[in-house]
Chain A
Amino acid sequence: MKKIMLSILALTTVGALFAQDSAGSVDPVSFSFSSVSTSGSNRAVVDMNGDFLDDIVSISSTNVNILEQQPDGTFVTRNISTSSANYTPSWSLAAADYNRDGYTDLLYGGGSGVTFMRSDGTGNGFVEVSGPEFVFSQRSNFVDINNDGNMDAFVCHDVAPNVYYINDGTGALSFNQGGLGDYPSGGNYGSVWIDYDNDGLLDMFIAKCGGEVARRTNQMHRNNGDGTFTENGASIGLADPMQTWSSAWGDFDNDGDMDVFVGASSGAHKLMRNNGPGSGYTFTDVTAVSGVLAVTATGIENATHDFNNDGFLDIASNGNILYGNGDLTFTTISFGAISGSNGAFGDLNNDGFVDAFNSGFIRYNDGNANHWLTINTVGDPSNINGIGARIELTTDAGTQIRDVRNGEGFRFLSTLNTHFGLGTATNINTLVVKWPSGTVDTFEDVAVDQVLTIYEGQPLSVEEQTNEVALTVFPNPATELLQLDYRTPLNDAQYNIYNLNGALVQSGTVGNKTINVAALATGAYVLKVETNGAVINKQFLKK
């Protein structure tokens, strides 16, 4: 049945979708294209105004163009004019609330320098901060480098040692160069901050490219916990002189540590398994048996998400999606599933499935029946976006981990939220957030299919904590059509309607979140919807 549904969806999808499903164990999702009107360079999918709904951000030298996502999934265009930026985000954009005013700030990584657009506290304006220093920017990230609770920024330098900006706590940034990748002629393309050795501290991996072997050998900068870093790529097996501009990190085999797909910009991709604590978190090349070599196309954009919410992380590599089997193998590949440069990722209709955006097109993830959880992290005393927090989620199927990240892939900035696909699980047994400050928040029996906002050190609301799935129906009383509002589309869900005497009076499948109740007599009824093993009861009136 699901296969048929997917086929129909594929027919309605604009663009190419070539799924190889040799193993048959993983079902890909399809994407529906939707054109939106933007002005400037399309750069980000990120919440700009603090409502935790991902917005679409495009930049020109004097304007920040924002398509603000509304609760109903539509967009409202806002243009916030700026001073003429000294540098524009031609090479990369990063976004986070580094001045802690509740509005997202921007970093423009330009070819000759770095501009910060700092929100002015009103949500209606930005103050430009541009340094005089020459920086041939590549990937940029907002991250609390010295773990003092204030958001800092890091920028890869193409032709010189990397640079970073330390936040003094007032939102003032000081320029630094040295100590985080100092090869004299650079070669730094894709930085990503992850905790590869599970010590609670963010480390930085740099995908490198170009020139002599020493220049292009990938680096890992292990966080020493005292504000310094030690480059140890060679000792853990990641000092590879392949040519790469970005990498996709994730626990692809759900064994509790971060593995990495290093996407080639020239040559062959690499998949490296983290051998875990027993080995001192060294890495082993598992490329040959992983299936990733089926993707021979190279490029500069690689990122990790669970696109089909099956609980196994997938890889987006230059527009191709490699669906993970959960064991570091990838046998289902959708070639050309999304834009060839991936674009920015986020949830642009708040349905719990990861969408993509680039070149004026939203690629809406058409979803499936799998469950999910999306988390917004708000830190205090940790950095306000919770970047660097380690999240551990356990269902009956096992434990998944995520690091809250900023700046994956090469050019774009993707959502600051953290997304989990949960497969058929309908209960989250435990959810643990390990904040950069050291605070650990633990929650039990968390509901699936919801967006959680977790404030550091605070409990969840009753509604979030209890595993009650909210189903609303309207109009109530209904006359002909009963609309269902639920977190998933409910396509093909079985329903039964009982009168108050317990007699079954109507049954069928939900179509388009709608049930025709015209045939029912006036009175009160109970609707029972069964979706993926869960049964939801809801009372309604027929007029």
Chain B
Amino acid sequence: MEADHSLTPPPRIGPTPKMKLQTMLRAIWSFRAFYIMLLPGVIYFIIFRYFPMYGVIIAFKNFAILEGITGSSWVNPWYKHFQDFYQSPYFGQLLSNTLLISVYKLVWGTLPPILLALLLNECRVRWLKSIVQTLTYMPHFLSWVIIFGILLTLFSQNGGLINRWIVEAGGTSIPFLTSTDYFRSILVGSEVWQNLGWGAIIYLAAMAGIDPTLYEAAKVDGASRLRMIWHITLPGIRSIIILLFILKLGHLLDAGFDQIYILYNIQVYPVADILDTWVYRTGLQQLNFSLASAVGLFKSIIGLILVLGANRMAKKWGEGIW
């Protein structure tokens, strides 16, 4: 068997650099089985996660498929693609769409799950509680394609349930899914529908951790249930609310590529096109690899700064991610 390195006898004489190296190598050798286990995963990370980080240098090149990443020539000046993007009409639109959709989702994605968690926590009928939990968690596992299908039957202009009602009542049908007036609400609404229950799980768990004697004491004092929510439950989960909020702030530039790509259409680009969807179209559909990579890199770097900033803020609240 391979010896546990802690069992290797310490060198008797004062360690020379050579001996230090030897002990180190022996230690590493004794862990060889672990390194062999790590190998496939590490190869995966290098190829599919770190090569692309190297490949991002095409943001500074005029990438041509035939010449490859190293063969393509550098652009002059090096920030040309970034400048092009900055000066293009897309820049303002994409950035404001991304931020607006993100902020809407941040606000609407935070309050309803807290409310649902409060209600579930107050629910004294066990079967009702577990049924509602099962039902509201489920949409989380439906893909956006499925949700798109549901949205179509409910909201599409021809044949959607809501519009059939409107027409029957004598109104004119409303293009919920293809109009710039409604599309963001559709995005936020469907996101809330998908994640209402799932988002509540963590708050519910935090509420379960509140000391029950607090409630007993309050009951003795004759506090009403509402007062207990206000003075015990909410303060009890305050730190987790703030923590999650800060962590979500770190992902402000991720407005939801999957969802938007599947739900949007050309009519709503002015309000729905975000950095990610634009990068995808420019890169993989129009084959403008360098420009798309530059915009992608811009997003990644700002994203990194935001996440690190958010983590630092979160640490101040006592709990960091790592």
| A and B are interacting partners | no
